[in-house]
């Protein structure tokens, strides 16, 4: 396979760095980092770099631990508003918030809504001039457990949905791509990428839009798009939501991780080819994926999943493997990704 373009060619990029490469990046271009996400518990003492740094307690399955680093092609400006840390570069803004509220507490839904409202309030995103959410990540523990008779993921969806409705009304065109995964312990972590100009939100022809799910999946449908297309200076980036073995609105292949993986890949291919067709983009298929996070419910699935992905991905694709609880208890694997192509390269 030929090498896909790197997201570093865009005003905002993402890469997965080991500890040594991260130290080098901080030393040589620390003023061009928008944010870091570490999949580990926070160390006892952490120097404040100014930009957002999030620690997610989620076991990493890579032989060499990697850090998710969001980068800028120019010097960034950093700031805070309440509990939100953010950094921006004139084209994009990266923001993060962590809330210590326990998910089994009655206030979890309310605090989710408040966290989202703070995140995209006029004081953080819109006042800074980045009103368009492109991509959001959500991590919290006990995602499949019930509290007060309602699964925590469904309680989270209701809180998130309330915030979107209060801020944007019922406009589905404002729903960004997103992921929501269960951690081992810790806080509710929300981090997001926003921009000055809007992206194009994409749905999957093989799936019912999540915000149209029937009531059997909870009192409030999930408010996210399957992917967001953003064109940055001649580059096409597709930010693909957490994607799993769902066709229509139903989970497929219960108990079979490899079959679920193949169904997930078919869903990702459908997003790529549909976006290429409808938006006149240059995406061709899985070879355009440059960065992936693969969430596995059990670590024992890693060898089969990694072997299958090595068959279909570009050898230059970066992948972080994580052990995490997926939003539905019957789902064993979920993949999120960033695809990148040069405009007009088909």
Check residue 288 and give its pLDDT. Answer: 97
Taking each helix axis from N to C end, the angle separating 257-278 and 302-312, rounded to the nearest 10 degrees, works out to: 30
Position of tokens 């549909």? 274
Record the pTM. 0.96
CA 190 remoteness from chain centre: 10
Check residue 55 and give its pLDDT. Answer: 95
Q: Would you say how long the chain is, in residues?
A: 346
> DSSP assignment of 214-278, as one string?
-GGG-SS----BSEEEEEETTEEEEEEEEE-SEEBTEE-STT-HHHHHHHHHHHHHHHHHHHHHH
For residues 159 and 222, give the distance between their C-alpha atoms in angstroms, rounded to a whole number. 10
The alpha carbons of the chain give a radius of gyration, in whole angstroms, of 19
Q: What is the pLDDT of residues 58-91, one digit of tens each?
A: 999 999 999 999 999 999 999 998 889 999 999 9
Check residue 107 and give its pLDDT. Answer: 85
Check residue 3 and give its pLDDT. Answer: 45
Check residue 101 and give its pLDDT. Answer: 72
What is the mean pLDDT, run by run of 10 residues, along the chain of 346 residues? 60 96 96 97 84 96 98 96 93 93 78 90 80 96 90 94 88 87 93 96 97 94 96 94 98 98 98 97 96 98 98 97 98 98 77
Check residue 1 and give its pLDDT. Answer: 37
Nearest to 192 by CA among 26, 34, 75, 72: 34
Check residue 2 and give its pLDDT. Answer: 42
> Domains in the chain, please, with CATH?
7-342 (3.30.1330.40)
Nearest to 203 by CA among 191, 217, 213: 213
For residues 92 and 304, give the distance between their C-alpha atoms in angstroms, rounded to a whole number. 37
Give catalytic residue positions.
334
Nearest to 184 by CA among 138, 137, 142: 142
Check residue 9 and give its pLDDT. Answer: 67
* DSSP H or E segment with residue 330: none
Check residue 346 and give its pLDDT. Answer: 60
């Amino acid at each position: 396979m030929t090498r896909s373009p790197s997201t570093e060619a865009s005003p905002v990029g993402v890469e997965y760095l080991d500890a040594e490469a991260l130290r080098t990046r901080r030393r040589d271009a620390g003023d061009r980092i928008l944010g870091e996400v570490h999949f580990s518990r926070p160390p006892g003492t952490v120097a404040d770099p100014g930009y957002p740094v999030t620690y997610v307690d989620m076991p990493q399955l890579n032989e060499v631990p990697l850090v998710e680093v969001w980068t800028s092609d120019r010097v960034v400006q950093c700031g805070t508003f309440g509990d939100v840390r953010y950094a921006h570069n004139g084209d994009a803004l990266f923001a993060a918030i962590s809330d210590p509220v326990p998910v089994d507490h009655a206030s979890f839904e309310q605090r989710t809504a408040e966290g989202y409202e703070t995140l995209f309030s006029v004081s953080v995103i819109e006042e800074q001039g980045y009103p368009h959410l492109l991509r959001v990540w959500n991590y919290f523990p006990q995602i499949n457990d019930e509290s007060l008779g309602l699964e925590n993921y469904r309680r989270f969806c209701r809180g998130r949905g309330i915030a979107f409705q209060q801020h944007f009304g019922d406009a589905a065109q404002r729903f960004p791509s997103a992921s929501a995964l269960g951690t081992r312990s810790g806080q509710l972590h929300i981090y997001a990428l926003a921009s000055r100009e809007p992206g194009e939100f994409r749905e999957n022809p093989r799936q019912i839009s999540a915000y149209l799910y029937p009531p059997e999946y909870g009192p409030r449908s999930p408010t996210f798009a399957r992917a967001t297309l953003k064109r940055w200076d001649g580059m096409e980036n597709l930010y693909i939501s957490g994607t799993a073995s769902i066709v229509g609105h139903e989970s497929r292949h219960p108990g079979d991780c490899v079959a679920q993986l193949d169904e997930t890949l078919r869903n990702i291919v459908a997003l790529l080819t549909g976006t290429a067709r409808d938006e006149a983009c240059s995406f061709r298929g899985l070879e355009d994926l440059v960065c992936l996070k693969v969430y596995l419910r059990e670590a024992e699935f890693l060898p089969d999943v990694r072997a299958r992905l090595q068959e279909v991905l570009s050898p230059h694709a970066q992948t972080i493997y994580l052990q995490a609880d997926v939003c539905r208890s019957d789902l064993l694997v979920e993949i999120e990704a960033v695809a990148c192509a040069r405009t007009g390269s088909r």
